[in-house]
Amino acid sequence: MPAPAECVGEVPVTRRPGHRALGVGGGAAALAAILALAAPAALADTPPDSSRNVEPLADAARLPAIEAERQQLFAAMLRDPANLDLAFRYASLSAQAGDLEGAIATLERMLIFAPGLPRLQLELGVLYYRLGAYDTASTYFDAALAAPNVPEEVRTRVESYRVAIAERNEVDRFSGSVSVGVRYQTNANAAPETRLVRTTLLADPLLLDENALGQDDVNGYVSTNLHYSHDLGAQGDRLEANLQAYGALYTDETDINTGFAELTVGPTFNLERISLEDTTLSLYGIAGGLVLKDDPYLVSGGVGAALNKVFGTGTRTYLGTEYRREGFQDSDLRPNASDRTGDRYRLFAGVSQDVTARLSVFAGLNGERRAADADFLSYTEGGITAGARLGFRSPFPTQDEPWVFGLTGGYIKRGYDDPDLIFSLTKEEEDDESFVEGSLTVPVAADWAVQTTVGYRNVSSNYDLRNYDNVSTSLGVVWRF
């Protein structure tokens, strides 16, 4: 059974039988002897401060108990200053309570009398990292690696923080992914499977032409996501730009050949300036367009805002809203497309949680309002999405990178403002849409992977023409950089 672990900042420190928490060889015993002589003067009689420098890692309900234990530990440290377990426990609780300065002060007192312990340097580096003092954190991380006989676990953790600091200190960052592949769908044109459609124009159901029914087809696709970030040099604020683009060419259903692109640009503010740790606020403009076949179909522009928060427990949350003005363009193939012109409002929120190092789960809520020029095309919808990602060992012994299985499902409820008089004189359209998709990502080289997906989508409507379902599968190559 592995020994229990304790951490001061975010880094676990394993206790081994017969060794103190900071011990490296016989270093713990030497440190204890030094502190027995020097610590009383260093500790003095200053009680722990309950103030917080950052948001606590612990739940609010636990804070009173943590503060009470800190008081007890402080008194115990005065009585037994050579007890490293007490000092480390006190620093750990201070970090959980958000009193990073208290935790730092405790560990720096120990460092004065016993310089060079890698674990101690590591913990101080982590605490300064949480405070946003990245230069000071780097100094401690470098010192931890410079010590002789650095434990491998310490070296690994230090390297991960050094990479994170280097990324934060970059003035310009550029990343993204490109996916190229082929996709098969049983109902590529999202059309009904029955030829009989009820309308207000005829007493009997309308008999659709065979070409108006759902058609299976194969298409090639290219999907791109690009991200650029520029450091504004103001407490972690950045100017960020994101570009999404997608193109698809169909074998038979060429009327739905698709080209789409959307760009968002705006500042992202680090809210640590108002004591909201690991929290950012993004404000951005939106510009996009869509082409169907060879005809411009949609031009859109708008604004958005998103609040992102990361918790120390591996939890990430977001809350946002967007507005778009959408202009639809008429064409010979779609002569009434402009009826859809109008305003689109969107509200979204979500959370993801790292359950283990290889398993993460997520869920999201989405609400949307479209106010089109034609009331029978105006609607309000709400939906939920949930899923998970699981990394697992490759079946090939020579492959170190894990394979990743993903599963996503969701449901959308949509209600329109007015009846479409072709289909009903009294009832507005109401749709229930559900979907599920599984994916498998297999790494094949550095930054390259093969990805396959299988999905199913169903739309159930009180308007016969809107009912359809579709099974899809795809195989593609993904490059991430």
Q: What is the crossing angle of helices 84-96 and 118-131, to 10°?
A: 20
Contact 375, 347 (CB under 8 A): no
Does pTM surpass 0.95? no
118-145: average pLDDT: 88
Q: Which two tokens stand for residue 44?
A: 């003095």
Domains along the chain? 5-169 (1.25.40.10), 172-480 (2.40.160.40)
d(CA 291, CA 297): 5
Contact 464, 213 (CB under 8 A): no
d(CA 315, CA 40): 40
**Does residue 10 surpass a pLDDT of 50?**
no
- Cα angle 39-45-47, degrees, rounded to a multiple of 5: 110
pLDDT band at 90 (very low <50, low <70, confident <90, very high): confident
Q: What is the pLDDT of residue 34?
A: 33
**Does residue 44 surpass a pLDDT of 50?**
no
Q: Tell me: the pLDDT tens digits for 334-389?
A: 999 999 999 999 999 999 999 988 999 999 999 999 999 999 999 999 999 999 99
**Does residue 52 surpass a pLDDT of 80?**
no
Q: Which range (93-97, 232-236, 434-438) has the least confidence?
A: 232-236
434-449: average pLDDT: 96
